[in-house]
Amino acid sequence: IKRLAREVKVWSRLKHHHVLPFLGVCTVGSVPYLISPWMENGHVLEYLKNHPNVDRRRLLAQVAGGLEYLHKFKPEQVIHGDLRGPNILISKSGNACIADFGLSELKSDAYDPNYSTPFILAGHPRWQAPEILKAETKEAARRNATTDVFAFGRVMLELFTGKVPFSHISHDIMASVRAMGGEFPPRPCDEEAVSCGLDDSMWKLMTDCWHSTPSERPSATDLVARLGA
């Protein structure tokens, strides 16, 4: 219930064309559910399987726009905390919307000592920044704008390849070990990835997002500019 309340607290404030709208809460029996518009195209990876010729760079620019909105949200910045392909839904008109705010935080809440260790350490390791994976304390594991940007780089890889980061490694734990060591997923050089738009500039943007020094990663505003160039 606490996590649901936290999600409502964050999501209900957001209104942007690349953020999934929040419509309300309903209860079925004793179980509460959050209501959003039905997105018939599913998440972005499903959409790309059914529409392989879609402009991936356009979708990424839309996600970056949504992320910029979250990071510039007033009066408090919003950290998504779990950005990955299945959490990006596609509208009827073919536009990307950031969804699933279950791990999102208002910046002021990101340092709440009442957050549990399981919540702090939640998330999917293939998309998490190494500083989170290596963190030994709750404080060190706090998500922030730079960890969202790191995850965005992983999302770029997903959209250009249709595969999870470190797809050549089947076990999440082994993938985490590689990521903790600062290793990048290998650059896909197959014809399909290149035809989907994975050129030198896009790979450079990905690796910039994965910079080992968080402060050296681009901002969401930088992402919007570089994807729109």
Catalytic residues: 82
Between CA 147 and CA 217 the distance in angstroms is: 9
Give the sign of the dihedral formed by CA 16, CA 40, CA 22, CA 56.
negative
Contact 102, 74 (CB under 8 A): no
Between CA 21 and CA 32 the distance in angstroms is: 18
Between CA 27 and CA 183 the distance in angstroms is: 45
Q: What is the dihedral of CA 98, 102, 105, 109, to 10 degrees?
A: 170
Between CA 205 and CA 65 the distance in angstroms is: 15
Residue 36 neighbours by CB distance under 10 Å: 16
Between CA 80 and CA 103 the distance in angstroms is: 7
Q: How many helices (H) and strands (E) does the chain have?
A: 10, 6
